Amino acid sequence: MRLRPPRNAVDERAVTWWRSQLLATTAVPVVVLAVLGAFIEPARFWLLVPAAAVAAVGLACTAFFPSWWFRVHRWEVTEDAVYVRSGAFWQEWRIAPMSRIQTVDTSRGPLEQAFRLATVTVTTASSKGALRIEGLDHELAADLAERLTAITQATPGDAT
């Protein structure tokens, strides 16, 4: 199998999902620092300045990274393999031959459910670990898991 770019993009709602995750991750330390700064007079400056810095960096990341991830993250399933490309600065391209697939799982966290998205995890006999296809429409993810299960059952090999 030759390494090639997978053809399918994740769902466009994944951009908003990633932004929501980044905002939530940024909001927690900002709120904690701001509340402490409001109540601890002697350390107010030393708490509010880092709160503002964390907020600025978090907002910049929220504005920039999800769009970039959307352009980079790709996936594809053929009769022979599962192809996944992910990453931002360090891009990872992985191929899992059907004969090496052991399990196929779908998961939907609370935020993913709100955006009607899901993650498909393909566990293989590789020491590198499972392949994750994040940001899929939840119905597409269910169909994909069903399709992968059917293909791997029909593929000769013991997945070890």
| pLDDT for the residue 104 | 94
Among the residue ranges 55-64, 88-97, 135-144, the one predicted with the least confidence is 88-97
Q: Give buried/exposed letters for 12-43 (b at 16+ CB in 10 A, else e).
A: ebbbebbbbebeeebeeebeebbeebeeeeee
Determine the pLDDT at residue 3: 66
Please indicate whether residue 87 or residue 17 has the higher confidence score (pLDDT).
17
Model confidence band, residue 4 (pLDDT cutoffs 50, 70, 90): low
Query: Can you give the pLDDT at residue 88?
Result: 79
- Give the pLDDT confidence score for residue 158 in this predicted structure: 65
Instruction: Kindly indicate the confidence band of residue 5, based on its pLDDT and cuts at 50, 70 and 90.
Output: confident
Write out the E strands in the chain. Answer: 8-9, 74-77, 81-86, 92-97, 101-107, 117-124, 131-137
- pLDDT tens for residues 40-81? 999 999 999 999 999 999 999 999 999 999 999 999 999 889
Query: Domain 74-154 is classified in which CATH homologous superfamily?
Result: FACT complex subunit Spt16p/Cdc68p (2.30.29.210)
Locate the domains of the chain by residue range.
13-69, 74-154
Residue position matching structure tokens 């995890």? 121
